Amino acid sequence: MISELISSGSFDVVHAHSSHAGALVRTLPFDVRVVYTPHALASLAPRFSSLWWAGQTERLFGLRGITIAAVSDDEACRARRMSPRSRVVRLTNLPTVQARGTARYCDPLRVAGCGRLTPQKHPEFFAAVARLSSAADLPFTFTWVGDGPAHYRKLLLRSGVTVTGWLSSDDVAKQLAQCTVFLHTALYEGSPFALLDAAALGLPVVGRPVPGLRELHWIRHMTTPRKALDVLQSMSGRENWSVSSQATTTAIHQLLTEVLTNKLSPRQACISISNCGPCTALGRAGRRRHRRLHRDRPDVAQIRDIGMIRLWPLFELSFDARIRTSCGAYSHLALSAARPRL
């Protein structure tokens, strides 16, 4: 079906999100530009796992030259090594919520995790921290915003973690704003929006020094559940928490300021690509519809003023455009971050 859609000739660019889609579109014989956003390369999965083996095929598929949009320095470096014939551009993800620092300290600490429960997010690590906290009689509360397979949900619930289930974007932001610390336990990453949103809300972020995150120096890094708990304990007390929260908020404001003043290089133009399905194709009709829908929106109209569109090489993709997914449904592909609000 994907091949038939693309062969119809009504699409300018095919956007492949995730490693599976990236592999799929590079096996199809069509003459159209491909933009591939790995958002964490599968080759970073635990060695010899099924996902890791699948990730090794990147070297084979890398023989076909496409455009790879990397969202971290580590991802860009790995993409260049595994796909030497491809053009790699470095994008900078931004928070999807306003950077207002609305989080407030509360005692005891409320610790949040967020995302789909998958091996990559390593919920076992989050559960281990919760169990250690309970064993030490610490009054911390743990909440996972999201959902996933039943065995992960049961693991978290047995460890004393509240699992919210799937929520709308607005409700996710409300849940995070009610917490005081964001604990990110992923084994590897690209540039997760949940983490950026938590930081924009003013939550101190604790994470592992893994690919995609080790370059974010404003994160409090830890390597084991015990060390994670030690970091959380160090944030107890309003003064200690406020220092960490201020450092996180300052880092996010600095990122937004660099974008607004065009201090980022052209390859770091601020364009965020949301997850909208395994394979998506963008056509001229979608761009026309975008212009009609957003002609009166100043946050979209002013993108040109701050140089986001003109900086990115594939500027014609920089629209919230209506697209047709591989399953025939319609969705929205956010290739332009609306003007950041400080």
Looking at residue 184, what is its pLDDT?
97
Question: Residue 287 has which token pair?
Answer: 């761009």
Looking at residue 325, what is its pLDDT?
30
Looking at residue 2, what is its pLDDT?
64
Question: What are the structural domains, with CATH classification, of the chain?
Answer: 2-92+264-334 (no CATH), 110-254 (3.40.50.2000)
pLDDT tens, position by position, 171-211: 999 999 999 999 999 999 999 999 999 999 999 999 999 99
CA angle 113, 204, 38 (to 5 degrees): 55
DSSP E strands in the chain: the ranges are 11-17, 33-37, 67-70, 87-90, 110-114, 141-145, 161-163, 181-184, 205-207, 220-221, 279-283, 320-325, 330-334
Looking at residue 261, what is its pLDDT?
66
Looking at residue 5, what is its pLDDT?
67
Q: Which residues of the chain have pLDDT under 70?
A: 1-3, 5-11, 259-342
pLDDT tens, position by position, 4-39: 766 666 667 788 887 778 888 888 777 778 889 998
Alpha-carbon distance of 329 to 325, in angstroms, equals: 6
Looking at residue 88, what is its pLDDT?
94
Looking at residue 9, what is its pLDDT?
60
Alpha-carbon distance of 168 to 65, in angstroms, equals: 37
Looking at residue 87, what is its pLDDT?
93
Phi, psi of 327 (to 5 degrees): -95, 5
Contact 323, 281 (CB under 8 A): yes
Looking at residue 115, what is its pLDDT?
94
Sign of CA dihedral 199, 205, 210, 215: positive
